[in-house]
């Protein structure tokens, strides 16, 4: 009962509260959104941030010090690691429309089975990134703004474009 009540309050009220970074009072909006989300999602780590307008389902898992950006839409089977930054207006899809029959309109074919999207630790997802169903994004990855991720991305690379391609490897510097 508590899960359903928290989800309803989140979706009716908390989703519309102002951004978390408003001087002096923004932290209270963050506290409310996070409290409600933690009580209905699968897993939430410590010190997470759920920004204004974020839409997600109860199967969301989000690790320590990670955030869901402003107006992001996440499918139901999404696992986000720790220390993940997500820009505004990202879309993470976990299912697609069926389209294999040409004699039946696509709108009448229903949906494919949901596929998990897994995002590793220490990932930076730029604004307006689209991630398609079943994708695994490795640790330490940077996804450039407005990219469309259509295939898995290995650890410690920078990927950008439509479709997203590896443009650079991240190099560790020991100072």
Catalytic residue among 97, 116, 136, 151: 97
CB-based contact 161:154 (threshold 8 Å):
no
CB-based contact 137:143 (threshold 8 Å):
yes
The three-state secondary structure class of 8 is: helix
Is 136 among the catalytic positions? no
Query: Which residues 6+ apart lie within 8 Å of 169 measured at CB?
Result: 156, 157, 158
Residue 131 CA to residue 21 CA, distance in Å, equals 26
* Active-site amino acid positions: 97
């Amino acid at each position: 009962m508590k899960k359903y009540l928290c989800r309803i309050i989140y979706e009716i009220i908390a989703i519309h509260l102002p951004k978390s970074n408003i001087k002096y009072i923004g932290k209270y909006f963050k506290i409310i959104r996070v409290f409600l989300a933690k009580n209905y999602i699968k897993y939430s780590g410590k010190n997470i941030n759920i920004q204004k307008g974020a839409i997600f389902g109860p199967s969301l898992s989000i690790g320590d010090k990670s955030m869901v950006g402003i107006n992001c839409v996440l499918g139901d089977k999404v696992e986000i690691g720790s220390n993940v930054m997500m820009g505004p207006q990202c879309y993470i899809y976990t299912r697609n429309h069926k389209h294999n029959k040409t004699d039946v309109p696509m709108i009448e074919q229903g949906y494919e089975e949901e596929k998990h999207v897994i995002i590793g630790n220490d990932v930076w997802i730029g604004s307006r990134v689209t991630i398609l169903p079943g994708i695994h994004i490795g640790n330490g990855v940077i996804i450039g703004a407005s990219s469309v991720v259509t295939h898995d991305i290995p650890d410690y690379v920078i990927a950008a474009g439509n479709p997203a391609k590896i443009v650079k490897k991240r190099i560790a510097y020991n100072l």
